[in-house]
Structure 1
Amino acid sequence: MAGRVEGKVALVTGAARGQGRAHAVRLAAEGADVVVVDVCGPLPDVSYPSATEEDLAETVRQVEAHDRRAVSAVVDVRDLDGLRAAADRGVAELGRLDVVVANAGICSPRAWDQVGAEVFANTLDVNVTGVWNTVMATAPHLVAAGGGSIVLVSSAAGLKVQPFMVHYTTSKWAVRGMAKAFATELAQHAIRVNSLHPTGVATPMGEGDMQATLGAAMAGDPRLAPMFSNLLPVQITQPEDVADVVLFLASDESRYVTAHEMAVDAGVSEF
């Protein structure tokens, strides 16, 4: 089936690479024009490399390779005014907004007693306030369009406890609750809101010292390491695996799916 989001316009945050790029390109391949947003700069507290403006330009190139239009904006999701300006410009250039994928987030695993106040605050600021900002900046455009779909990217850590990530897990459970709360109030406008819960995904977030940092934390209590095991016999999933589910939630195939936690987690939340 082709053209599953033909004629729609989507906005994706954290779109310069990784899952965000995969979502933008998958939606474009099925007919959507896309507003791609990324901070393209240093992220707080993380050990992996940050995205660049060149990365965002590559996402634009890949969207345009599907003969779809792309509008890009370098914006930090913590900047509500900046997000509103990006959404407004995208709608002005592309005509409407139908789909929102709040994908941007950070992860900095460490043992509970190594999570300082600043690290905790930064994680919630990006992963929770940034998601709220994204919805607040875009939902009015979906209301004006007569409906649409909003996907809030949480994590398997928003379905089960994941150790050595108390700040990250807290943020992802908050995103899950936020999706249900927005779904309740936006339903009258024919807007669906769902949360998405991937397991580990092969993206730049896993590069740098991420695995070493997580390994050091696990060394303090190795009994908890199996909590990261997938039920299916796979070590890690690919961004395209998650993007396929984003496409489903964006399309009319999921027209009666809302306030739902969609797990793309290889069963890790059941382990």
Structure 2
Amino acid sequence: MSQDQYGRQDPQSQFQSPEQQQSDQIPHPGVTGQMDDQPDHGEESYRGSGRLTGKKAVVTGGDSGIGRAVAIAFAREGADVLIAYLPEEEEDARTTAQLVEKAGRKAVSVPGDIRDESHCASIVERAVSELGGIDVLVNNAAYQMAQPGGISDITTEQFDRVMKTNLYAMFWLSRAAVPHMRPGSTIINTASIQAYQSSPELLDYATTKAGIVAFTKALGAGLAEKGIRVNAVAPGPIWTPLIPATMGDDKVESFGEDTPLGRAGQPAELAPAYVFFASQESSYVTGEVLGVTGGQPLS
């Protein structure tokens, strides 16, 4: 990344386009270490300023990608962080936990599958017992698997997995967390550009992301009287392990090139949006969706 004497950077060249050169698709869910071109999570660049001092946060899918970037940013802003992740992502989760602890904050790691309602309840229970409460819930974990044939290639098993991971878990986690959240707490959901510009090969995933937008607006209105705000971040094409693990080589090669900025985004570029929604800086914002899409419109 290059910048001038005033700290200005060209957003088109701030990060280079990923150059994933693996001949074979890496296995789902994808581990950061398996990627030839690893994402930037803000490990070297994110600087906190105490905006979340003393907060207790839960981040699902916190092991890698956007979740890791959010965990790093939250910790450097002063929050203790619980990260939830699949057991097969243990290697990435350890790295994220170490980065949280390096920032001087407490890290709690909870492996398991959020398609299980009881596991979602246990995540919240662990946050309450080990962090001392829950001020910020980030529903970030998601499952996608691109199917070039669209609806004819999407099995009932896949559809069920996408719905359970992306929608049911968000519902279960939010319902379990709300009784423990005080006025000033926040819920932040990860939506997607797919909620607005849906791709046929991601039909099931796009359906859930549109549902997340509706859920965010309805829950935001419903919890306003409790002083709990609910918002969503809608990423565009972001370079994470999920991409080479769920897309064909041709899609990976051109990933993000169709955005106005001409490249895929990095997880580090998403984290400030989550910090904004988690902090008192957004105290008059609820039921909103913030797009971080490289210029693609949310319409």
TM range (shorter): 0.7 to 0.9
1:257 equivalent in structure 2: 285
Deviates more, 1:107-116 or 1:185-194: 107-116
Residues of 2 paired with 1:155 and 1:69: CA distance? Answer: 29
Runs of 4+ in structure 1 over 3 Å off: 225-228
Q: 1:91 aligns with which of 125, 128, 153?
A: 128
2:40 equivalent in structure 1: none
Q: Where does structure 1 lack aligned partners over 5 or more consecutive residues?
A: 42-51, 216-224
Q: 1:61 aligns with which of 84, 95, 98?
A: 98
TM-aligned CA distance change 1:68 to 1:208, over 3 Å:
same
C-alpha displacement of 1:261 = 1.1
Which letter does structure 2 place at the counterpart of 1:133? W
Q: 2:184 aligns with which of 142, 147, 150?
A: 147
Whichever structure has more helix as a proportion of its residues is: 1
Residues of 2 paired with 1:95 and 1:80: CA distance? Answer: 22
TM-score by length of 2: 0.78
Residues of 2 paired with 1:202 and 1:180: CA distance? Answer: 27
Identity of aligned residues (%): 32
What are the residue-to-residue correspondences of 1:162-241 with 2, within 5 Å? 162-208=199-245, 210-212=247-249, 214=251, 229-231=258-260, 233-241=261-269
> Is residue 83–residue 110 contact of structure 2 (8 Å, CA) maintained in 1?
yes
> Is residue 255–residue 264 contact of structure 2 (8 Å, CA) maintained in 1?
no
In the alignment, is residue 116 of structure 1 matched against residue 155 of structure 2?
Answer: yes
> Is residue 162–residue 228 contact of structure 1 (8 Å, CA) maintained in 2?
no
Deviations 1:209-268 (A, max 9, x none): 6133758xxxxxxxxx9998212x231001011111001110100011100011011122
1:128 equivalent in structure 2: 167
TM-aligned CA distance change 1:164 to 1:253, over 3 Å:
same
Which letter does structure 2 place at the counterpart of 1:164? E
RMSD: 2.1
Secondary structure of the 1:146 match is coil
1:45 equivalent in structure 2: none
What are the residue-to-residue correspondences of 1:67-78 with 2, within 5 Å? 67-78=104-115
> Is residue 146–residue 246 contact of structure 2 (8 Å, CA) maintained in 1?
no
TM-aligned CA distance change 1:210 to 1:253, over 3 Å:
same
Q: Where does structure 2 lack aligned partners over 5 or more consecutive residues?
A: 1-47
Aligned length: 249
Secondary structure of the 2:291 match is strand
